Structure 1
């Protein structure tokens, strides 16, 4: 189960990287190169969300959910729950 989720996680990572790299930036036109904005809004012009934006959102949500699921599964699979569980503790008497 863990190996399958890791495989899916890697596929989602590569897909997310590809989708983000394919997107066009907000100021990718000629006016953006010289600091101009197409509108006087606070955050620049915003069009309707296209397919790449939706795919990025879904891939990011899936990436986060898979990360949380893998963290939970791997923490349950390991027997030791503490970093110091394998060390022996010795106490010395205080000097007087």
Structure 2
């Protein structure tokens, strides 16, 4: 379904660009008034503007509908917690903390007299 929609999206986009490039702008009407041959077109003097405008509107509507459908399909495939930060945290290895290598605790090496707490003056 996704592949079909992408193919339709590309075809509609290319057709939409072609139709827009074929159309004449508003400035072309002034030249047509002086006999540039616009009345002898295939669709008549005003028929091409209506046909091309309507075709462009329909293709634009199809383009937006297919875009929304693709966005819905892509959004439905991801979970709510799927973000770039979550994926980076899951892929990063845990930091390695070196273990202490003391052979014996420091308190056992002291004489018995030093192990006592110092006297607190009153």
Compute the TM-score of the two structures, normalised by the length of structure 1: 0.65
Indicate the RMSD between aligned Cα atoms, in angstroms.
2.6
Larger Rg belongs to: 2
Gaps of 5+ in 1: 32-46, 91-96
Between the aligned partners of 1:88 and 1:30, the Cα distance in structure 2 is 64
Unaligned segments of structure 2, at least 5 residues: 33-45, 95-122
| Superposition misfits of 4+ residues, deviation over 4 angstroms | none
Structure-1 residue corresponding to 2:69:
69
Q: Which has the higher helix share?
A: 2
For normalisation by structure 2, the TM-score amounts to: 0.53
User: Higher relative contact order by CA 8 Å / sep ≥ 6: 1 or 2?
Assistant: 1
| Matched residues, number | 75
